[in-house]
Amino acid sequence: MIKINCTVDNCSHNNCGTCYANRINVEGNGAQNAETTCCASFLDKRHYSTLTNNTNSQGPCDCLVCGVTNCAYNDNKLCTAETINVSGVNVNIYGETNCETFKQK
């Protein structure tokens, strides 16, 4: 099953809408909505090329570390959501990405 769906086209870990990072870090301490979260693992393809060869497991990324303490899916800094959706348009830095799956506790 795909754990991380990503619409950030210029992320080095994105392969056809699926994240292939070894793990991702979602941040947004004190977030009130998805717009105040971000994928801190974003790397711009213009600077880092394509990094879609996940070395920790076979296939897409399935390791989600979450620093969004007030998200309902955060269990001791691990995400318990079945899948998440990361978004961002014309992203230059990781703070311009969002975890669309965020659900406030």
Q: What is the pLDDT of residue 73?
A: 96
> Per residue of the chain (105 residues), what is the pLDDT tens digit?
568 999 999 999 998 999 988 889 999 988 999 999 999 999 998 888 766 665 556 677 778 999 999 999 999 999 999 999 999 999 999 999 999 999 999
Residue indicated by tokens 């210029």: 10
Query: How many C-beta atoms surround the C-beta of residue 13 within 10 A?
Result: 26
Looking at residue 7, its pLDDT comes to 96
pTM: 0.87
Quote the CA–CA distance of 63 and 105 in Å, as a whole number.
Answer: 22
Looking up tokens 């994928």, which residue turns up? 39
